[in-house]
């Protein structure tokens, strides 16, 4: 292989051993350096595709070197390989731009897999730079995205990212408000990838009971817990050879986040009730409508998992920021509704167009679909929609803070709001969760904490 790999470590014996392993794997151009102070000169004098870097070296700390070289060489992935297993240092390394953090002595298979993925990541970054240098959108093959109705430049930028990310094997994080089409984009990435002939398994994590999370994701063997009468294949195993889409990743319990991170890093899972690993060839795409950075800062989501999921980042714009797409989608949805209900609505009146243009669509495309379908079914045939059924805003249960209540924490405000909503809805958890915009499981967890307080 033609890629140039730079090994930086003060242990000369380890350097020679690692160089030998890489050369046996086919990496013919391997540079070894025991003094980190020489690394900037090496990077200036020749092209390097990947760096394997130790942390604790007498001449210079590896983190200091990483912080120094990353701004100047942002597209060279750096894998930290160190004998000290310290989570704080691992997080610091990732913040400074490290691609991965591996403990010595590394498992050879894992190390080689990480190197292959990192080099693929470098190629991805090069393609991104080409797009940025062009200063304009790359030409989109409309046939590839014909099932996504849009005339928006912001969505065409999304399509560019999809075409860049799809051929790689990187994990992708798709963020966007509820109803923006994160599932469509995930499926499109799969369809445009080399895995398109393999399985595509979509999992809504918010719909899985917390007690069944591990069994549903990773499977279990017969007799591993009460009620386990047969071996069960989990979603990950079902997606082997293809893609797994983890929707609502922000709902993943903290105790399972470490197991997901391990599955990503080692490409293997353990079924409940067995210590035998199952090797996987799988691509992970995750999606969320939540602010995961805030969740990391609050301690509710692992930082190392967030950075590992966020190798490729796609942010979907809300419908209100997609310009004329509201009308394009409305006319498309009218045609579908006509077929569904046997109607013949021929379009929109000016009044209906004005209504749609002035509405903010908190539920995005999914809400627009509901509005159009409800309006079509109630409208007279062979005419345009005279108006559309815009839902009333939910404002009856807003918190009315008294002046004496202003200086309280956000946590206390949330607590009071949940109590108020539950009271108005006669403690109906399902309806309250809909009003609050959270899953039933999340609301149950918050209610439990309120009761404990």
pLDDT at 133 over 50: no
Q: How many helices (H) and strands (E) does the chain have?
A: 18, 12
Question: How do strand 200-204 and strand 243-247 relate by DSSP bridges?
Answer: parallel
For 191-215, write each residue's pLDDT tens digit.
999 999 999 999 998 888 777 888 8
* Mean pLDDT of the region 422-429: 76
Per the listing, tokens 């430049």 go with 153
- The confidence score (pLDDT) of residue 393 equals 52
Residue 296 pLDDT > 90: no
- pLDDT of 1 over the 70 cut: no
| Band (153; pLDDT cuts 50, 70, 90) | confident
Sign of CA dihedral 185, 186, 188, 194: positive
CA angle 149, 176, 368 (to 5 degrees): 45
- Residues 79-100, mean pLDDT to the nearest whole number: 77
Q: Is 106 helix (H, G, I), strand (E, B) or coil?
A: coil
**261 pLDDT more than 50:** yes
pLDDT band at 138 (very low <50, low <70, confident <90, very high): very low
All domains in the chain, ordered by first residue: 4-127 (3.40.50.2300), 149-315 (3.40.50.300), 319-378 (1.10.8.60), 403-452 (1.10.10.60)
Name the average pLDDT for the chain.
82
pLDDT at residue 183 greater than cutoff 50: yes
Cα 255 to chain centroid, rounded: 18
Phi and psi torsions of 315, nearest 5°: -110, 120
Task: Return the percentage of the chain with pLDDT > 90, whole number.
Answer: 24
What is the per-residue DSSP string for 305-323? HHHHHTTEEEEPPPGGGST
Question: What band does 130 get if pLDDT is binned at 50, 70 and 90?
Answer: very low
| DSSP track, 248-274 | SGGGS-HHHHHHHHHHHHHSEEE-BT-
Flag whether pLDDT at 268 surpasses 80: yes
pLDDT score of 188 more than 90 = yes
Which residues, listed in sequence order, are joined to residue 232 by a DSSP beta bridge?
220
Q: What is the mean pLDDT of residues 349-374?
A: 88
Q: Is the pLDDT of residue 397 over 70?
A: no
**The tokens 């403690």 sit on which residue?**
427
Q: Is the per-residue pLDDT at 396 higher than 80?
A: no
Gap between the Cα atoms of 399 and 417, Å rounded: 6
pTM of the full structure? 0.63
Lowest mean pLDDT among 215-219, 272-276, 423-427: 423-427
- Residue 124 confidence (pLDDT): 55
């Amino acid at each position: 292989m033609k890629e140039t790999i730079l090994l930086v470590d003060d242990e000369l014996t380890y350097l020679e051993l690692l160089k030998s392993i890489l050369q046996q794997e086919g990496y013919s151009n391997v540079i070894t350096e025991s003094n980190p102070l020489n690394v900037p000169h090496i990077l200036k004098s020749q092209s390097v595709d990947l760096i394997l870097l130790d942390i604790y070296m007498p001449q210079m700390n590896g983190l200091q070197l990483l912080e120094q070289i990353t701004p100047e060489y942002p597209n060279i992935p750096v894998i930290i390989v160190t004998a000290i297993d310290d989570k704080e240092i691992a997080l610091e390394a990732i913040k400074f731009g490290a691609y991965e953090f591996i403990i010595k002595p590394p498992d050879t298979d894992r190390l080689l897999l990480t190197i292959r993925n990192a080099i693929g990541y470098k190629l991805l970054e090069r393609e991104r730079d080409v797009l940025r240098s062009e200063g304009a959108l790359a030409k989109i093959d409309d046939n590839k995205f014909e099932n996504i109705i849009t005339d928006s430049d912001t969505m065409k930028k999304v399509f560019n990212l999809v075409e860049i990310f799809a051929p790689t094997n990187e994990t992708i994080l798709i963020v966007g408000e509820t109803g923006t089409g994160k599932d469509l984009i995930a499926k499109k990435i799969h369809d445009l990838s080399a895995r398109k002939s393999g399985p595509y398994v979509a999992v809504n994590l918010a719909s899985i009971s917390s007690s069944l999370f591990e069994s549903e994701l990773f499977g279990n063997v017969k007799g591993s817990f009460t009620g386990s009468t047969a071996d069960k294949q989990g979603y990950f195993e079902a997606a082997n050879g293809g893609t797994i889409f983890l929707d609502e990743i922000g709902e993943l319990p903290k105790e399972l986040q470490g197991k997901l991170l391990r599955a990503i890093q080692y490409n293997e899972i353990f079924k409940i009730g067995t210590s035998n690993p199952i090797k996987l060839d799988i691509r992970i795409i995750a999606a969320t409508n939540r602010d995961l950075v805030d969740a990391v800062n609050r301690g509710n989501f692992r930082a190392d998992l967030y950075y590992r999921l966020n190798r490729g980042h796609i942010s979907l714009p809300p419908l209100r920021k997609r310009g004329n797409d509201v009308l394009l989608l409305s006319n498309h949805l009218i045609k579908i509704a006509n077929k569904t209900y046997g109607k013949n609505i021929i379009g929109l009146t000016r009044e209906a167009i004005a209504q749609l243009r002035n509405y903010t669509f908190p539920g995005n495309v999914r809400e627009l679909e509901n509005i159009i379908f409800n309006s079509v079914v109630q409208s007279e045939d062979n005419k345009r929609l005279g108006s559309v059924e815009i839902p009333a805003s939910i404002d009856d249960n807003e918190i009315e803070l008294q002046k004496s209540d202003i200086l309280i924490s956000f946590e206390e405000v949330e607590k009071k709001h949940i109590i108020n909503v539950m009271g108005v809805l006669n403690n109906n958890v399902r309806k309250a969760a809909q009003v609050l915009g959270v899953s039933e499981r999340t609301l149950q967890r918050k209610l439990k904490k309120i009761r404990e307080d």
